[in-house]
A and B are shown apart, each in its own frame.
Chain A
Amino acid sequence: MKPIIEVSQLCKNFKHFTAVNNLNFTVYKGDVFGFLGENGAGKSTTIRMLLTLIEPTSGNINLFGENLQKNRKEILNKVGAVIEKPDLYKYLSAFDNLNLFAKMSRLKLSKNVLLEQLDLVGLADRWDSKVKTFSQGMKQRLGIAVALVHNPELIVLDEPTNGLDPQGIADIRNLILKLSHERGKTILVSSHLLSEIEIIANRMLIMHKGKKIVEGDVNSLLDPSKTIVKIETANNQNAFELLSNSIWSEDLKIIDEQILLKIAKKDVPNLNKFLIQHSVDVYLIQPLHSLENYFLNLTKSTAHVESFTN
């Protein structure tokens, strides 16, 4: 696969702290690459270095196989970006904003082409409205239209669902999937909404305090041989004692009166049968090992999951 983004030994030091520390990762053509981390993990700083907004302290960034610093103009012509809030010229209409940014990319696009772009993000009917009248979701979609106006090969979206309502989040998610599947774009999308990345990304990287924790295929990272399930019964204490004498006793814990059991996914039905056969009234068997828990575990932010890994 052809690498689109190659980052090696990237560091960024500000006066009093290191925002990005020896970061390495690769994004391949066609990837929807999820960039995960808590606020302050270094995601935005990394993205800003990818877009030449911030000068790296050290390290190397290659985009499309070329050094970013040496071939900045040529590379940026193939990149579209929405960086945090999609701030545009509020006193101009959606159409004028799009036209203006097209011209900045040295493009003279016809009205029809620009309207098609607005249609792609669902703003064709508001093409002549000033941006100051737009909702946050509409601004976000217009920001994406601006990022796409010069038909870039790589799209960088920094926290694109920030501040959006559930419908807005769903719209952006669908748009990203559409751009990936129908237009073959390579997309780097950062978020702290982990469930979003789980749905849209095929590969991901998790950052914590400026460092990479893990990088890889989303499916393989989220398909461990075992999962953690939470069990709720009519009498948790009795169920815990019952399970303590079963084949699952080694991976059993009770924390804050919640039964947590590390178990192979294929054995979850057997667990249910076992409890029922021993006259336990089962209210709930819930797998906890979602991407969110995986992430929280890796960044050591949750005592529950951590207790299994220690």
Chain B
Amino acid sequence: MLSLLQIELYKIYRRPRTYIAFAAITAIVLIFQFAFKSDGQSYMNLMLQNVQDNFELDKSKAINGYFMCYIILNTLLVQVPILVALIAGDAISGEANMGTLRLIVTKPFSRTQLIIVKFLASFIFTIILLVWMAILALFVSLLIFGSDDLLIFRVKGEESQILQITQDDILWRYFAAFGYATIALTVIASLGILLSVFAENSIGPIVATVCIVLFFTIVSNINVPIIDKNIKPWLFTSYLVGWKGFFYIGIDAEGQPIKGSVENWMAIRNSLYILIAHIGFFLGAAIYSFRNKDILS
């Protein structure tokens, strides 16, 4: 199994397509950093226009490495599923398209092993992608913008909030957030692998995975009570942005932030369970389908 995994990782490593994801993330992050370094104050003025009467803020300190990472994560974690789909959606269908699937399946290991190895390779790819993102978005931003307390702008119900997290209470939240994002993106990877079992070209499952994620994400963002109550809980995309929960710091009775706390641990835990259940379901379905599939390509 380990040698098979090494082979899969080697194939991913040698494919030019793999580096599209890393190049895209690098380009987007650098553009963000350049834009905020050049004209970050305009962004802050826009963000604070509704609340600046109630708060006294040093705007120059608000734009720091931690803040940049939060902004980048907010934007990129919507796009990264597409990059994960590029690899996972190609896992089986890419082999079928190249004609190598029929050769691989005649090798002395089971089809279940093959799917598990493809899944693990996609999982590792996702981790590496997120580590790269963390290096660029967090550590490079800290180098460029320095560190300070993190200000989070949040709309809760009908009111706007600014949450302040002291800089000695931030780093663990980013590690937790990246960990959560890994699980969330692994759902996309397992969905991509499931869809790739049914196709004999790479484009179909990649596009299908992206379309499903986009469609569900759009529905997840429709803030109508009937959808909130009856549909959103059933969409895995509703839980993809659950990483933000690590930045919603708990507040005591006097309205002061409690260091090391989060507002709703239960919500984060439940979201993780739901995401892991989705991974299990998609992976199980992929194994079942592939075991019973006639390889005709």
Contact = CB atoms under 8 A, between A and B. Distances in A.
A81 B106 contact: yes
Contacts of B294: 48, 53-55
A53 B295 contact: yes
Given A73-B108, A105-B107, A53 B14 contact: no
A77 B296 contact: no
A73 B14 contact: no
A103 B16 contact: no
Interface in B100-138: 100, 102-110
B234 interface: no
Given A100-B7, A100-B10, A79 B99 contact: no
A101 B103 contact: yes
A105 B108 contact: yes
A42 to B, nearest CB: 13
B100 A89 contact: yes
A20 to B, nearest CB: 12
B3 interface: yes
A104 B100 contact: no
Given A53-B102, A92-B14, A104-B104, A73 B7 contact: no
Nearest to B98: A87
A163 to B, nearest CB: 13
Interface string A1-15: 000000000000000
B4 interface: yes
A125 B28 CA distance: 44
A85 interface: yes
Nearest to B6: A103
Contacts of A74: 108
Nearest to A88: B100
B164 to A, nearest CB: 50
Determine the interface band of chain B, counting residues with CB < 8 A from chain A. Answer: 20 to 34
Contacts of B103: 81, 83, 87-88, 101, 146
A77 B108 contact: yes
Interface in A75-120: 76-77, 79, 81, 83-85, 87-92, 96, 100-101, 103-106
B3 A91 contact: no
A88 B3 CA distance: 19
Contact of B105 (A52, A73, A96, A100): A52
Contacts of B109: 73, 104
B100 A53 contact: no
B86 to A, nearest CB: 15
Contacts of A275: none
A104 B105 contact: no
Contacts of A83: 102-103, 106
Contact of B7 (A51, A87, A104): A104
Interface in B202-243: none
A76 B292 CA distance: 18
Contacts of A73: 108-110
Interface string B261-297: 0000000000000000000000000000000101110
A146 B100 CA distance: 12
A54 B102 CA distance: 10
Contacts of A92: 14
A91 B14 contact: yes
A101 B106 CA distance: 11
Contacts of B16: 91
A87 B97 CA distance: 9
Given A88-B100, A91-B16, A104-B4, A51 B106 contact: yes
Nearest to A49: B294
A104 B11 contact: no
Contacts of B4: 104
Contacts of B156: none
Contacts of A91: 14-16
B108 A76 contact: yes
A112 to B, nearest CB: 21
A87 B3 contact: no
Nearest to A78: B108
Interface of B: 3-4, 6-7, 10-11, 14-16, 98-100, 102-110, 292, 294-296
21 contacts: A51-B102, A51-B105, A54-B294, A54-B295, A73-B109, A73-B110, A76-B106, A76-B108, A77-B108, A81-B106, A87-B100, A87-B103, A88-B103, A90-B98, A100-B7, A100-B10, A101-B107, A104-B104, A104-B107, A105-B108, A106-B3
**Which are the 3 A-B pairs with shortest beta-carbon distances?**
A87-B99, A53-B295, A77-B108
Given A84-B102, A89-B14, 13 more contacts: A48-B296, A51-B105, A54-B296, A84-B99, A87-B99, A87-B103, A91-B15, A91-B16, A100-B10, A104-B107, A106-B3, A106-B108, A146-B103
